[in-house]
Amino acid sequence: MKFTDGYWQLRPGVTVLRPGAVESIEPDERAFTVFAPIGKITGRGDTLNRPVVTVRFSSPAPGVVGVTIGHHSGGLPKQPRFALAENAEHPVQVEVTGLSARLTTGELTVRVALTGAWRVDFLRGDRLVTSSTERSIGVVTDADGRKYVHDRLALGVGETIYGLGERFGAYVKNGQTVDIWNADGGTASEQAYKNVPFYLSSAGYGVFVDHPEHVSFEVGSEVVSQTQFSVPGQSLTYHLIDGPTPKDVLRRYTALTGRPARVPAWSYGLWLSTSFTTSYDEKTVTEFIDGMAERDLPLSVFHFDCFWMRQFHWVDFIWDPATFPDPEGMLRRLHERGLKVCVWINPYIAQRSYLFEEGRQAGYLVRNPDGSIWQWDKWQAGMALVDFTNPEAVAWYAGKLKTLLDMGVDCFKTDFGERIPTDVVWHDGADPQHMHNYYSYLYNKTVFELLAAERGEGEAVVFARSATAGGQQFPVHWGGDCESTFVAMAESLRGGLSLAASGFGYWSHDIGGFEGTPDPAVFKRWIAFGLLSSHSRLHGSGSYRVPWAYDDEAVDVLRRFTRLKLSLMPYLAAAAEEAHREGVPVLRPMILEFPDDPATAYLDRQYMLGPDLLVAPVMSADGQITYYVPAGTWTHLMTGAQVTGPGWVTEKHGYDSVPVLARPGAVIPFGSVTDRPDYPWADGVRLRLFSPTPGQRSRVRIPSPDGGTGTEFEVRYRDGTATVELVAGVSSGYSCELTGGGRS
């Protein structure tokens, strides 16, 4: 949100209070508060009729500085707030001199000038990271009397900003206005399903604005040398998170807001959907599954989209009896074929659902201020909204889902959760503005925790569309309703990269796109991208996504990349374990792995899958692609050809090929099974060592599919020979292969 008219003037009707010199400071052992009147104090008379801005500095976690800016503090506290894992015992040093007040946590220091104009510097050691200066803080009143508070942090020369949720526009956020407000806006606009008030800087720090309500960011767009963030009201809290590397920032951020849970091994396999508005019954489903088996296409999960329920009844969680007269038997038959089953749900209750009256009578539905049920006709006629601030409503909703689990359903696609009204009353008195984005957190938490309780830790997985900060704890999230074009393929990847830079460890997208029907070229190119993501789903809107609906080559392409992904399960599982333990995502923007290479700053058509595989999806029918390779000798995983960087590479690929390159010195473990994802990953594993350096020693850790201790190998390279040793865990057999010459 912009408040100024150019650099010198304010917009019509806008007034801004800005802190002047610090008048006094109140320190304690772990924090300090400064009081800064507006303007200059030259005598006692100047203390009258003069506002004071209060700013408190603290540290909720190691390497994190919290800043709270306030004007009037007499307002009622508003809920909900983000649930943060604050640490009250980590070392914090507070030092006050005549010139400055300093708070240090880890290597990060915030320094407030106590003389002269307002200035706050954030330093790593003696090096300036960013700063808030005399025109940065503003307590704003607009022309309609609405109040806002903002701060602005300096952008350095060449500094680039990432994150702010799953955003489909330009990957680098410099020059953009970004409003943190969940919306069902597709993937081709400035709106987003997953809005996260956190950004990651190439300078090695992050900023988390600790407000679940509407937060507006001006990233070098109102003042080109600063990033501004503003919230409505009379106070603003944000946390500056230290690195020094972008990965370190994500580690600290996810330690504060929550790290992704482990997901079951079977979820990494291929998911096939009925699609949305297509006509289907058990016969259709069986034909799809038979068709996959007949063509030797490994399938792990079958998904039933919306019309598994009766039209106009969403959601009542009752199988449409005209289409599925024997759901328990059907689910049993699917399980007998080794498949898991996912069904579509949302948090909306149509008026024709029997749950509407049940929820109305019990007080489980969101209400208008006059006590009536909030309703509208968008999506479902007369639909209402489950009130997840009511613990009894949570138990009621989860109980309906448990009935489906007892039938044999294994997981849920938690669709929607973005269209949340702000003129309603919540059971626990929550502020409607705060609840708009936060609703997605409560919704997915309810479903994920039910699955964890019923299926066990590590066996819960959802396919979620909406999210906000902290939602990364409840994976998996997918990219929403994109079109079926190469352009949409690129915008989907930009969304995934931005979400990864926002602390989300897993991410998926609809192979081929959702809206419309992709032509065979788009579908086949998207297959490689989809199978080289953490989770892979064939899904669309009005047309089936079985590969033989396109051409015979699509079948071959799907088989090739599905089997490649399944062979990579030991590697992908290790990357997923890093996401769970450290908050570093599986799909990684190039800058996460190569922060010191300036060429990676703007790369948004390629990514790292885990730490050691570079993937550049082909987004053209003719197969021509240009991508960037960082320093060293990289090896094409599928052909063995080598490319030396740094530099740009132009290649042409058939539909059965894509640039997927192994990093110099990488040890990539390949599993011995290519027809399912849930197998003993360490048994018969083949360790491929790529372009090693003399004397290299590498540890390779392979998790266990059941969450056990896993297996660890040490690979050594000396005198042109590679050797491998089992140092922990169990493996029924293993081998080592040196790629690029030498012996193993």
Does residue 744 carry a pLDDT above 80? Answer: no
264-281 tens-digit pLDDT = 999 999 999 999 999 999
Reduced to 3 states (helix: H, G, I; strand: E, B; else coil), residue 476 is coil
Range 248-264 average pLDDT: 98
pLDDT, position 740: 64
The contacts of residue 418 (CB under 8 Å, 6+ apart) are 182, 183, 184, 193, 440, 465, 466
Please, is 611 exposed, middle or buried when counting C-beta atoms within 10 Å of its C-beta (0-12, 13-18, 19+)? middle
Could you tell me if 350 and 313 are in contact, meaning their C-beta atoms sit under 8 angstroms apart? yes
Which ranges in the chain are annotated with CATH 3.20.20.80?
A: 265-345+391-582
Which residues of the chain are in CATH 2.60.40.1760 domains? 4-257
Which element (helix H / strand E) includes 523? helix 520-531
Distances (CA, A) of 579 to 148, 167, 673, 728: 36, 21, 24, 22
Q: State the pLDDT at residue 14.
A: 97
Query: pLDDT of 554-579, one tens digit each?
Result: 999 999 999 999 999 999 999 999 99
* pLDDT tens track for 149-184: 999 999 999 999 999 999 999 999 999 999 999 999
Whole-number pLDDT of residue 708: 86
Q: What percent of the chain has pLDDT over 90?
A: 98
Report the candidate in 328, 315, 553 with the shortest Cα–Cα distance to residue 443: 315
Express each pLDDT in 585-596 by its tens digit: 999 999 999 999
Confidence of residue 742 (pLDDT cuts 50, 70, 90): very low
Question: The domain 667-739: what is its CATH number?
Answer: 2.60.40.1180
The CATH number, out of the four listed (3.40.50.1820, 2.60.40.1760, 2.30.30.100, 2.40.50.100), of the domain defined by the range 4-257: 2.60.40.1760
- pLDDT of 529 reads 98
**CA 558, chain centre distance (Å):** 26
Confidence of residue 313 (pLDDT cuts 50, 70, 90): very high
Q: What is the pLDDT of residues 352-403, one digit of tens each?
A: 999 999 999 999 999 999 999 999 999 999 999 999 999 999 999 999 999 9
Alpha-carbon distances of 272 from 291, 406, 413, rounded to whole Å? 12, 22, 13
Query: Per-residue pLDDT tens for 396-415?
Result: 999 999 999 999 999 999 99
Size (the chain), residues? 744
Contact 211, 437 (CB under 8 A): no
If you ran DSSP here, which 8-state letter would residue 76 be given?
A: P
Specify the pTM.
0.97
Q: Is there a contact between 375 and 351 (Cβ–Cβ < 8 Å)?
A: yes
3-state secondary structure of 189: coil
Q: How confident is the model at residue 163, as a pLDDT? A: 98
Which residues participate in catalysis according to the annotation? 415, 418, 481
Can you tell me the mean pLDDT for 41-56? 94
Average pLDDT estimate for 63-87: 96
Place of tokens 């080794």: 338
Radius of gyration of the chain (CA): 27
Longest dimension (CA), the chain: 89
Residue 743 banded pLDDT, cuts 50, 70, 90: low
Task: Give the pLDDT score at 707.
Answer: 86
CATH number of 587-662: 2.60.40.1180
| Residue with tokens 């704890």, as numbered in its chain | 473
- Could you report the per-residue pLDDT of 450-468, keeping only the tens digit for each? 999 999 999 999 999 999 9
Decide if 103 contacts 242 (C-beta within 8 A): no
pLDDT in tens, 643-667: 999 999 999 999 999 999 999 999 9
DSSP string, 206-273: EEEE--SS-EEEEESSSSTTEEEEEEESSEEEEEEEE-SSHHHHHHHHHHHH--PPP--GGGGSEEEE
Residues 294-308 have pLDDT tens digits of 999 999 999 999 999
Alpha-carbon gap, residue 327 to 318, rounded angstroms? 10
pLDDT for position 6: 95
Residue 484 DSSP class: S
CATH 2.60.40.1180 residue spans of the chain: 587-662, 667-739
Dump strand ranges (E) for 50-197.
Answer: 52-61, 64-70, 93-96, 100-105, 108-113, 120-124, 127-132, 138-141, 147-154, 161-163, 176-180
| pLDDT confidence band for 13 (50 / 70 / 90) | very high
Task: Summarize pLDDT for 416-441 with one digit per residue, the tens.
Answer: 999 999 999 999 999 999 999 999 99
Among 3.40.930.10, 3.40.50.720, 3.20.20.80, 3.40.190.80, what is the CATH number of 265-345+391-582?
3.20.20.80
Per the CB < 8 A criterion, the answer to whether 148 and 1 are in contact is: yes
d(C-alpha 44, C-alpha 54), whole Å: 19
440's enclosing H/E stretch is helix 432-455
Chain mean pLDDT for the chain = 97
Q: Environment class of residue 439 by beta-carbon count within 10 Å: exposed (0-12), middle (13-18) or buried (19+)?
A: buried
